[in-house]
């Protein structure tokens, strides 16, 4: 019995995690107007409706563009900040690190409202650009923390050896530091992508006409539940799973081998 307890716990944990997702996917094939029992189907009508909706397609593209751009900028700035603080002795470096990580402890609502006031006073109209700025602000502390934690003595010794062999500072960073920190940089990038992809509050406050997918889904929710929402969620889940499997098959497995 004691041997079965870990497996029972694992089964309950997986059911708790994946049952909502399974329910979402199941009722995306509902043939009726509401995603509630009894199940009528299966039917692909809502998938066809979603894929043919130009507003949803535009919101999806906006989300991808904002997530990619904001993640690239956040990881680049996070790497430069981590490299500077890890490799150089600066006055008040502990305070600087604390200030860089501090936004992780602040509510996104507070961050979004503050950015809304600052960007409005600066004369910037609300758009995908301002939403991207907001996503950089919330993702930069995460990227910095991940990359800074990965910088150790091993990389520092390799950098010193490269300098002794005649490499300049740019060559050291691009040819030694970045490749050695590639796993941490990749983790920071994909986590930033995930948070940016799902972020609603910042996107809602800092966009107006061109909106991201979470904001568009919220607009649809105001008119009530619909299998269309289930279809959207299922497609997003499918894309996420496809990305994870692709990385596992072609990146992580190759790195282990």
DSSP structure string for 210-257: S--HHHHHHHHHTT---HHHHHHHHHHHHHHHHHHHHHIIIIIHHHH-
Homologous superfamily in CATH for domain 4-256: MetI-like (1.10.3720.10)
Buried b (16+ CB within 10 A) or exposed e, 173-201: beebbeebbeebbbbbbebbbebbbebeb
**pLDDT tens across 174-201, in order?**
888 888 888 888 888 888 888 888 788 8
Q: For residues 149 and 87, is the Cβ–Cβ distance under 8 A?
A: no
Dist. CA 227–CA 29, nearest whole Å = 8
**pLDDT tens across 76-97, in order?**
999 998 888 888 777 877 888 8
Residue spans of the domains in the chain: they are: 4-256
DSSP string for residues in 94-123: HHHHHHHHGGGGS-HHHHHHHHHHHHHHTT
**pLDDT tens across 52-72, in order?**
778 888 888 888 899 899 999
């Amino acid at each position: 019995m004691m041997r079965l307890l870990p497996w029972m716990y694992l089964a309950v944990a997986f059911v708790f995690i994946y049952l909502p997702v399974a329910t979402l996917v199941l009722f995306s094939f509902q043939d009726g107007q509401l995603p509630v029992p009894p199940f009528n189907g299966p039917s692909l009508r809502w998938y066809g409706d979603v894929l043919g909706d130009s507003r949803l397609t535009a919101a999806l593209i906006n989300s991808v563009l904002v997530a990619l751009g904001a993640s690239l900028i956040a990881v680049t700035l996070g790497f430069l900040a981590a490299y500077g603080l890890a490799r150089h002795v600066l006055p008040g470096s502990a305070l600087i690190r604390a200030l860089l990580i501090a936004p992780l402890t602040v509510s996104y609502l507070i961050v979004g409202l503050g950015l809304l006031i600052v960007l409005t006073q600066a004369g910037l109209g609300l758009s995908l650009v301002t939403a991207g700025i907001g996503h950089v602000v919330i993702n930069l502390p995460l990227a910095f923390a991940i990359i800074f934690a990965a910088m150790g003595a091993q990389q520092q010794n390799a950098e010193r050896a490269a300098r002794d062999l005649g490499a300049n500072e740019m060559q050291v960073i691009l040819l030694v530091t970045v490749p050695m920190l590639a796993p941490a940089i990749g983790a920071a990038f994909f986590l930033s992508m995930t948070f940016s992809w799902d972020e609603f509050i910042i996107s809602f406050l800092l966009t107006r006409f061109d909106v991201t997918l979470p904001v568009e889904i919220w607009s649809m929710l105001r008119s009530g539940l619909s299998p269309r929402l289930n279809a959207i969620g299922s497609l997003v889940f499918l894309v996420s799973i496809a990305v994870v499997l692709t990385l596992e098959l072609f990146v992580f497995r190759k790195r282990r081998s």
